[in-house]
Amino acid sequence: MKRMSLRAMALVATSASLIAGAAMAQTSLPLIEDADGSGDWSLAELQTLWPELTQEGFVAIDTDANGAVSPEELQLAVDNGLVQLPQQ
């Protein structure tokens, strides 16, 4: 059986830690109806879950400024604390 050096073990442990940390940072998004079937959400669609969401908040989430929020943009907003997930 081949022995692993301490340096190699440290690299493996660090890599595993980074992967686990990244996985834990992402929280699953709730199901949000995409009424128009576009694959992204409008302000009105997001307001069904977050009625207090303003136009200014929507613009902050819509990082590519295309007028719609993609799942990736919403995930980033959740991960960065811009949007709080509703309590289950």
For residue range 14-71, list pLDDT tens digits in order: 444 434 444 445 678 999 999 999 999 999 999 999 999 999 999 999 999 999 999 9
Domain 6-79 has CATH 1.10.238: yes
Which pLDDT does position 20 carry in this prediction?
A: 40
pLDDT of residue 1 exceeding 70, the answer is no
Taking CA atoms, 34 is separated from 10, 20, 42, 61, 78, in Å, by 45, 31, 8, 17, 18
